[in-house]
Amino acid sequence: MSALSLPFLSCTFSSTYPFSISLNSSFSSLIPFQRVKLFGSTSKATTRSFFLTARAMAELVKDKESGVAAAEGGKMDIEHSRTFLEARSEEELLSGIKKEVEARRLPPNVAAGMEEFYRNYKNAVFQSGDPAAAETVLSNMAVALDLMLLDVEDPFVFQPYHKALREPFDYYMFGQNYIRPLIDFRNSYVGNLSLFYEIEEKLKQGHNVVLFSNHQTEADPAVIALLLEKTNPHIAENLIYVAGDRVITDPLCKPFSMGRNLICVYSKKHMYDVPELADMKRKANIRSLKEMALLLRTGSKLVWIAPSGGRDRPDPVTGEWNPAPFDSSSVDNMRRLIESSGAPGHMYPLALLCYDIMPPPSKVWKKKLEKEES
């Protein structure tokens, strides 16, 4: 097993949304930055093409699921509402949220979150200055709200190891294209890009690679994949993320999580938030560790984990961002898993700086509310 340095990525978000991913070694001196132009902003023609495809795919998956449900005895006994897919304006989209609440298909608290989700996304995309911003927001949010509603109607249950859903609806590309308009690729760069190619070579040789990373936003997986999708698509699409329970239980997060390869765990920070559930959480984590061990035994696996157990917070005095301290037991658990897998393994440190895309709250609270939780 080896511990090596990793490339440095830096990306700027549209307008006032600066973003950077820095990948450096805690075992050696910092590697100099290397600027790389990946690709430019999505053109209006490309954007429109994707949105039409996304709508068609969303409708396809609803039709297929309805057909499967009927064949299996009608698991989904209520026809999925097409309110959001049929919306052709912001007014229709927002009134559709109210319509679904009135029809009692959507809980008021989820509806409030969806409306805030829309307004925040709109504000961010409009700051890019893209002339197609209005179309981008409407089309992306129509599909996003539709998938959120679908999960409220028929909740998706994640297994300990979840493989990204790519068909009949491509949840991975949905997440990629939702975050894409928020990034200013012209002012983004990848440093030490050669090391990503080095990682790909190790994966081809049957080696396992683990990225020990800090965690800044719920968009971290999409940001990493977007910066690498042109140069290292294999890494972008096959990276396995160790994910906390909120992103696989919150209906506003689940459609994005369904497009990623995940090992699902409960964070140690929140293990005893509800004491009576602590034993269930521990057992679930044991199952996830077993799944991880089985995956690593097959070799050629790339795993991302945030040993801090939560998102970084700014210094309350200076406002500067620093990676949250790693939990040494989490690092040690991964080391043991790598060593016992039977395949060669490598550990790389990864530093992220991308908080501006979805800033976390300044404090970690116990209440299960997105504005207040880790």
184-196 pLDDT, tens digit per residue, is: 888 777 777 888 8
Nearest CA to 260 out of 310, 307, 225, 229 is that of 225
pLDDT score recorded for residue 245: 86
**pLDDT confidence of residue 78:** 61
**Encoded tokens for 220:** 């971290």
Task: Give mean pLDDT, residues 78-103.
Answer: 94
| Model confidence at 244: pLDDT above 90 | no
Are 151 and 249 within 8 A, CB to CB?
no
The string of pLDDT tens digits covering residues 22-70 is: 333 222 222 222 222 222 233 333 333 334 444 544 554 555 444 444 3
**How many other CB atoms are found less than 10 A from the CB of residue 45?**
9
Chain mean pLDDT for the chain? 79
- What pLDDT is attached to residue 110? 97
> Once rounded to an integer, what is the mean pLDDT over residues 227-235?
94
Task: Give 120-124 contacts, CB < 8 A, sequence gap 24+.
Answer: 122/90, 124/13, 124/14, 124/17, 124/182, 124/357
Tell me what the mean pLDDT of segment 265-294 comes to. 86
| Greater pLDDT, 185 or 295 | 295
* Residue 184 parent element (H or E): strand 183-191
**What pLDDT score was predicted for residue 209?**
96
Report whether pLDDT(21) > 50: no
pLDDT score of 260 more than 90 = yes
Show the domains of the chain with their CATH numbers: 80-154 (1.10.1200.50), 181-357 (3.40.1130.10)
Average pLDDT over residues 156-182: 96
Active-site residue set: 154
Please choose, from the candidates 346, 256, 242, the residue with its C-alpha nearest in 3D space to the C-alpha of residue 299.
346
pLDDT in the model for residue 10? 54
